């Protein structure tokens, strides 16, 4: 192992282990998650490396990261009770620390297993005890992070005092997330990242413009002498919205404020979130604060809109329920759509979307109703209504209507998912009063407009 000298920036490497991740059986979400957390701490996440459960490959990756001047290595996975889980042993070798049984930790793990074992009385208790003794053998001098599942995590400083330290975390994301918070608090961790600059982060969200337009906006801001140099701006498309994340040092706060003002002036209708809140969070706080209730009648989204409205804790305060009206019979009998409307305009039409919205509100007794009907594909498209054609309507008890017909790109899953985003934004617009209570016919003229 080379002696490491810190560069100006504190760099960290992320090491993801597991054959099932490497072979694509499971897609890795821990690498990007850890990368985001490190960046928040001012640490430069310089590489993510994924290897299978092979001791040589694991050790080679650790050495490579040390040679590449990482101050910190975070590993994920390989902490299970079976023999192919060998991260701890390899990390101990890497750090030059002997493996020792931590009797107190063994007892804590036994404590965790007791209720599990009583639930599964058929299991071989002795085999489990011995398998989990393995999880209590740890490098001497390492800081143990209490198990969230059954596996403890570790913060392992190298025996010779040179960098890097290794933070050893479990693979299941829920366990990893909870244990990360503990790891960050440990003294060796704080010491390893001591040189990291602390940045501020600003996140804003826009909806209804293409991502390429943001590049133009940045050029226009530079032309208008907005001081962009101290701002590290990243844009990305997430769930159909554009997220603009900006990293800057405290001294650049006025530059960030000027940038935000420029954005707001240029995209007044599209910039819906200046504080990073998602449209779901905005919907929830608009509804929860008002005492209003909402209901859905949906066809092509097949329950996903209801699923999204009930996603946040506390949603039962404003979400009453939904009708998944996949068949025409269900549209008629459950949502009360007039069969003549379906006959005349087709099941996928703005007229039926509006009838679904009104029907949902009436059947559930809600203040607002959402109607969605469309063709998610791959079959069912026609020349007039190709796959991706989706009609939306939001109706309020007092007669306001916001109705759209759109053509969405992508496959079945993209179309269903994107449709829930569009409906959520239409609902938000109605909730903030950004819609005149115009007769539906005049609103319907806007059907080709972008939602």
Closest separation between CB of residue 65 and a copy of itself, Å?
10
Min separation Cβ 418 and a copy of itself, Å: 12
Per DSSP, 446 falls in state: G
CA distance 387 to 349: 13
Nearest of 309, 450, 305, 444 to residue 371 by alpha carbon: 305
Total count of residues recorded for the chain: 451
CA separation for the pair 142, 159 (Å, rounded): 10
Name residues contacting a copy of itself, limited to 110-139 (CB under 8 A). 116, 120, 123-124, 127-128, 131
Distance CA 319, CA 360 (A): 12
Determine contact, residues 65/164, Cβ cutoff 8 Å: yes
Please identify, among the stretches 90-98, 269-277, 280-288, 324-332, the one whose residues bind a copy of itself according to the rule CB under 8 A: 324-332
Binding of a copy of itself by 244 (CB under 8 A): no
**Should residue 372 be labelled a site residue for a copy of itself when binding is judged by CB under 8 A?**
no
Which residues does residue 406 pair with via DSSP β-bridges, in sequence order? 390
Write down the least CB distance from residue 161 to a copy of itself, Å: 24
* 6 belongs to the binding site for a copy of itself (CB under 8 A): no
Instruction: Map the footprint of a copy of itself across residues 387-416, applying CB under 8 A.
Output: 410-414, 416
Specify the DSSP class assigned to residue 47.
E
CA 435 – CA 423 distance, rounded (Å): 14
* Beta pairing class for 153-156 and 165-169: antiparallel
- Given the structure tokens 């679904």, which residue do they identify? 356
Q: Which of 55, 365, 386, 439 binds a copy of itself (CB under 8 A)?
A: 365
Nearer to a copy of itself, 394 or 400 (CB): 394
Q: Which two tokens stand for residue 149?
A: 């599942």
Question: Is residue 192 at the binding interface for a copy of itself, with CB under 8 A as the rule?
Answer: no
Distance between CA atoms of residues 231 and 126, nearest Å: 58
CB 265 within 8 A of CB 274: no
Binding mask 46-85 for a copy of itself (x = CB under 8 A): xxxxxxx-x--x--xx--x--xx------------xx---
Handedness of CA 4, 9, 13, 14 (dihedral sign): positive
Torsion, Cα of 75, 76, 80, 84 (10° steps)? -70
| Stretch 248-287: interaction string toward a copy of itself, x if CB under 8 A | ----------------------------------------
Whole-angstrom CA distances from 159 to 15, 94, 97, 139, 142 are 20, 9, 6, 10, 10
Find the binder of a copy of itself among 1, 245, 332, 438 (CB under 8 A): 245
Separation between Cα atoms, residue 394 and residue 400, nearest integer Å: 8
**430 touches a copy of itself by CB under 8 A:** no
> Looking at 103-111, 223-231, 310-318, 389-397, which segment touches a copy of itself (CB under 8 A)?
310-318
Out of 118, 212, 225, 441, the only residue in the binding site for a copy of itself (CB under 8 A) is: 212
Sign of the C-alpha dihedral, residues 89, 69, 8, 249? negative
Candidate segments 103-111, 272-280, 313-321, 350-358, binder of a copy of itself by CB under 8 A: 313-321
The binder of a copy of itself chosen from 5, 24, 160, 384 (CB under 8 A): 24
Q: Smallest distance, Å, CB 141 to a copy of itself?
A: 29
- Which residues within the stretch 93-112 sit at the binding site for a copy of itself (CB under 8 A)? none
Stretch that binds a copy of itself, among 14-22, 262-270, 393-401, 427-435 (CB under 8 A): 14-22
* Cα distances (angstroms) measured from residue 348 to each of 297, 300, 369, 374, 447: 13, 9, 17, 5, 13
Least distance to a copy of itself, CB of residue 143, Å: 26
When binding is defined by CB under 8 A, the residue of 227, 276, 302, 346 that contacts a copy of itself is 302
Contact between 246 and a copy of itself per CB under 8 A? no
CA gap 154, 162 in Å, rounded: 18
Q: Which is nearer to a copy of itself, 27 or 441 (CB)?
A: 27
Q: Considering beta carbons, is residue 88 or 364 the nearer one to a copy of itself?
A: 364
Q: How far is the CB of 296 from a copy of itself (least distance, A)?
A: 7
Structure tokens at 39: 């960046």
């Amino acid at each position: 192992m080379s002696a490491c000298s810190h560069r100006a920036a504190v760099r960290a490497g992320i090491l993801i282990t597991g054959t099932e991740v490497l072979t694509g059986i499971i897609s890795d979400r821990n690498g990007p998650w850890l990368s985001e957390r490190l960046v928040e701490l001012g640490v430069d996440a310089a590489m993510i490396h994924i290897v299978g459960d092979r001791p040589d490959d694991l050790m080679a990756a650790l050495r490579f990261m040390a040679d590449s001047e990482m101050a910190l290595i975070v590993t994920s996975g390989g902490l299970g009770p079976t023999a192919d889980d060998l991260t701890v042993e390899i990390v101990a070798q890497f750090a030059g620390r002997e493996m020792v049984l931590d009797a107190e930790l063994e007892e804590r793990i036994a404590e965790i297993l007791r209720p599990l074992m009583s639930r599964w009385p058929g299991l071989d208790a002795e085999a489990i005890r011995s398998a989990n003794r393995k999880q209590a053998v740890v490098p001497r001098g390492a800081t143990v992070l209490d198990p969230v599942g059954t596996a403890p995590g570790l913060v392992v400083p190298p025996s010779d005092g040179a960098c890097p330290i290794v933070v050893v975390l479990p693979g299941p994301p829920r366990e990893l997330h909870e244990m990360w918070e503990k790891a960050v608090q440990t003294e060796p961790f704080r010491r390893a990242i001591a040189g990291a600059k602390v940045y501020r982060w600003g996140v804003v969200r826009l909806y209804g413009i293409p991502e390429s337009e943001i590049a133009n906006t940045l050029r226009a801001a530079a032309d208008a002498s907005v001081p962009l140099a101290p701002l590290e701006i990243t844009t990305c498309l997430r769930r159909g919205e554009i997220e603009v994340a900006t990293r800057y040092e405290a001294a650049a706060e006025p530059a960030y404020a000027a940038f935000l003002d420029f954005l707001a002036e240029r995209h007044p209708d599209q910039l819906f979130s200046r504080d990073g809140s998602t449209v779901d969070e905005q919907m929830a706080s608009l509804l929860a604060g008002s005492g209003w209730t909402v209901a859905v009648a949906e066809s092509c989204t097949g329950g996903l809109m209801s699923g999204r409205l009930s996603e946040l804790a506390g949603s039962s305060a404003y979400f009453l329920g939904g009708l998944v009206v996949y068949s025409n019979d269900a549209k008629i009998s459950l949502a009360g759509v007039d069969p003549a409307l379906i006959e005349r305009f087709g099941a996928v039409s703005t007229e039926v979307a509006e009838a679904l919205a009104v029907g949902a509100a009436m059947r559930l007794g809600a203040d607002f109703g959402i109607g969605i009907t469309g063709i998610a594909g791959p079959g069912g498209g026609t020349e007039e209504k190709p796959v991706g054609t989706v009609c939306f309507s939001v109706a309020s008890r007092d007669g306001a209507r916001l109705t759209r017909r759109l053509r969405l790109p992508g496959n079945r899953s993209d179309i269903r998912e994107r449709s829930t985003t569009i409906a959520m934004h239409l609902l938000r617009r109605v909730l903030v009063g950004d819609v005149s209570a115009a007769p539906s016919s005049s609103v319907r003229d806007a059907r080709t407009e972008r939602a």
